[in-house]
A = this chain, B = another copy of it.
Amino acid sequence: MNFLQIVSIPQAIELLLGINGEVWSARERVRAADSVGRIAASDHLAASALPPFSRSTVDGFAVQSSDTFGASEQAPTLLRLCGAVQMGCEAKTDVAAGGAALIPTGGMLPEGADAVVMKEYCEQLAQDWVSVGRAVSPRENTVLCGEDAAAGEVILARGARIGARTAAVLAACGLEETTVQIRPRIALISTGDELVEPGSALAPGCIYDCNSTALEALCAEQDLQVCSVQRTGDSLPDLKEALLRAADSEMVLISGGSSAGAKDYTVRALEEIPDGDVLAHGLAAKPGKPTIVGRLGRVPVIGLPGHPAAAMMVFSEVAAAYWRRRRQSADTRRRLTVRLSEDVHASPGRQVMLLARLFPRENALWAEPVHSKSSHIRTMQQADGYLCIPPEQEGLRQGQLSEMILF
């Protein structure tokens, strides 16, 4: 295969950013509970301190802790009951020296009190006296105003992926909505004379197109929105037409037709479209060599390999990485350092992405490569992720440590 210009994965990402590297600023507001999986479009600040007032963490009596010093079951301290805090109300009673106020879990700590004695250690006596059988230290059984978050503190940073726990924090700080990035719209084109839409009858020599489905599912995982799916045969005019129809998107992903054979038309199609161009042909990656970086005006176009596993790997390493840069979003893929169960061959000058399964042995995590031909698809189901062997690395030996990226 003759490739025009082979680039590394980082170079491919830079070329794409050169086509359009603008910070992605399109935003919309959604309910906090609906924002899980979305990417924050702005820093979100706590609208109020969390908690908004100092609270008791137990049912008991709010006191001045110094009044309890030395108190014990054998020698309780007597304090005068000066009131009761109601849940959801301002604490109206001040607790002076020698005083105590009944307080429920979550109740507002009254002025003057600096600790709470659990009710299990207290006894309410006649004539408004409370016997306290245990000493408490300052701040014991309380949570102070702003201890969890100060008013104005950043509770969700721009670019962060929102999870259930963050949604809870947003609500706790009074935010019912979140400003999230509108999902960039991705146009998909699957090419190949052999491709048939799933659900249709399969003619001899044909296979089902699975790249459209695979890429749409991967886009969803990355908070990207597929706006159109087209299938074309190996035909230059059809591919050009499909490209022009896809140009009203934020990225075009073509799968198949990216190699250098007689029927690989992606390079020619991009070159023949007036404002189209090819910036690289060939990726220093295994799998993933037949990859094209191109453009339609300011819309980045990636020609992905036709083999599904390779297309998915290049999507993850190049397309997703490009969007992380434009969305100023951190790479939250989980990475583990694992030991290899067998020798692994490197491919000098190319980044190797090798499907692997995790298994525990001797209190360590090991990775076993999932052996696969490039056209296999189900092997991806059997893998927990992939080993990433950088281009400069030599082969890895059994027992050696390597980084694994989890699916």
- Residues from 4 to 39 in A contacting B, C-beta threshold 8 Å: 32-33, 36
- A244 contacts chain B at the CB level, 8 A cutoff: no
A36 touching B169, Cβ below 8 Å: no
Residues of B within 8 A of A210 (CB): 168-172
Interface string of A189-219 (1 = CB under 8 A from B): 0001111111110111111111111101110
Q: Is A331 positioned at the interface, with any CB of B under 8 Å from its CB?
A: no
**Contact status B377-A50, CB under 8 Å:** yes
With both beta carbons as reference points, the residue of chain B lying nearest to A220 in the complex is identified as B36
CA of A289 to CA of B259, assembled, Å: 61
Cα distance, A108 to B226, chains bound together (Å):
32
| Tally of A interface residues using CB under 8 Å | 99
Q: Which B residues lie within 8 Å of A333 (CB)? A: none
Residue numbers in B under 8 Å from A51 (CB-CB)? 207, 375
| A143 within 8 A of partner (CB) | yes
Copies of this chain present: 2
The distance from the CB of A155 to the nearest CB of chain B, in whole angstroms, is 7
Does A221 contact B87, Cβ atoms closer than 8 Å?
A: no
CB of A168 within 8 A of CB of B312, answer yes
Among candidates B86, B193, B407, residue contacting A88 with C-beta atoms closer than 8 Å: B193
- Residues of chain B with a CB closer than 8 A to A167's CB: 213-214, 216-217
B198 and A171 contacting across the interface, CB-CB below 8 Å = yes
> What residues on B are CB-neighbors of A177 within 8 Å?
199
Name 30 interchain pairs, CB-CB below 8 A, sorted by A: A1-B59, A32-B217, A33-B217, A33-B226, A36-B220, A50-B378, A87-B193, A88-B194, A88-B206, A88-B233, A90-B205, A91-B205, A105-B259, A149-B378, A164-B218, A165-B381, A165-B383, A167-B213, A169-B210, A169-B378, A169-B380, A171-B208, A171-B212, A171-B214, A173-B198, A174-B208, A175-B199, A176-B197, A337-B363, A337-B365
For the complex of A and B, the 8 pairs showing the least CB-CB separation, nearest first, are: A176-B199, A168-B214, A88-B193, A171-B213, A164-B217, A172-B210, A171-B210, A88-B194
